[in-house]
Amino acid sequence: MKHSKISIIGAGAVGTTTAYALMLKNITAELILVDIDEIRCKGEVLDLSDALSFCGASKVRGGKINDAGQADIIIIAAGARQKPGQSRVELVKKNQQVTAEIIQSIKPINPNSIIIMVTNPVDVLTYHAQKLSSLPRNQILGSGTFLDTQRLCGILAKKLNVAEQSINAFILGEHGDTQFPAWSSTHIGGIPLLSFKKININDLESIATETKKRAYDIIACKGSTYFGIASCVATMCEAIIFDQKLVVPLSCYVPQFDICLSMPCVLGENGIEQILPIPLNDNEQKKLAHSAQQLRKLIS
């Protein structure tokens, strides 16, 4: 039987933490790391290899960029990261160039590959990767607001004293400053959040702000974020490899706006298999349109 292969382009903090999460979760047989900094990449491969005997994966190796294009899943986490106080959109010029170079060099891409974009600004770069590659749009997706949604669930879980996994909530739109929570569709154990007495209307605004600010807070303290995103990306790979049909908010192409932003998606072996029509109230519809408008400006 053919074994599964995942390549990670960009063996920095996000790329290597994702590799480690994939190994610990026993998701793939072979991991290929690629970075323009070949010495660092070699060191990361050697270090990760020391953990192999505790994991299901049989191989971690360094690779050339065209090798990466043949994997079952290609994760792109290469490029500049935010400096303290810097927004994700400020990375656009530099990382657009990095993404274009990478997509060009991994061609011809395995026609069955799923590409996961992680590099920021992730919505804009997912859109560009879709335009530049030869793959159908459903096979190129961005981690989008999956991480922001986990942050939201964590904050709500503490407030309500319930498990994060029992919360059904979505941050939608841009993985960035125009994101918003779809409060009207948020449920805990099937009960609408808005009917919980422990949460009032003022709390909603501060929870949304705390969620949005979380990345800035982490970067101000330690320079970068990687554990949360690595766990999200490993979960996405698991959903693809095991064809789980997991419902998660991911950056996907939305024809109505002609851009990529996060909506609830069904994630399986074919990548994004459905975009679910989440009910939004008038205010949320406006926020979605605003987020789309900001992203469209950035793209054009």
Contacts with ligand NAD by CB under 6 A lie at: 9-15, 34-37, 40, 77-82, 91, 95, 98, 101-102, 118-120, 122, 143, 147, 175, 224-226, 229
Could you give the residue numbers annotated as active site? 175
Closest CB 162 distance from ligand NAD, rounded Å: 25
Cα 20 to Cα 44, 135, 227, 246: the distances in Å are 10, 27, 10, 22
Place of tokens 């996961």: 116
Closest CB 278 distance from ligand NAD, rounded Å: 20
Q: Hey, is 71 helix, strand or coil? A: coil
Of the two residues 193 and 267, which places its CB atom closer to ligand NAD in the complex?
A: 267
Report the helix count and the strand count for the chain, using DSSP H and E: 9, 14
Residue number, nearest CB to ligand NAD: 12
Helix axes 282-299, 122-132, angle to 10 degrees: 60
CA–CA dist 133, 152 (Å, integer): 33
Of the two residues 188 and 228, which places its CB atom closer to ligand NAD in the complex?
A: 228
Of the two residues 89 and 280, which places its CB atom closer to ligand NAD in the complex?
A: 89
- As given in the structure block, the two tokens for residue 210 are 């705390």
The answer, yes or no, to whether the previous bond of 264 is cis (omega within 30 of 0) is: no
Of the two residues 116 and 169, which places its CB atom closer to ligand NAD in the complex?
A: 116
Q: For the beta carbon of residue 80, count every other beta carbon within 10 angstroms.
A: 16
Closest CB 283 distance from ligand NAD, rounded Å: 25
Check if the beta carbon of residue 157 is closer than 8 Å to that of residue 163: yes
Cα 205 to its chain centre, rounded Å, is: 24
Closest CB 201 distance from ligand NAD, rounded Å: 29
Closest CB 9 distance from ligand NAD, rounded Å: 5
Beta bridge mates, 76: 9, 117
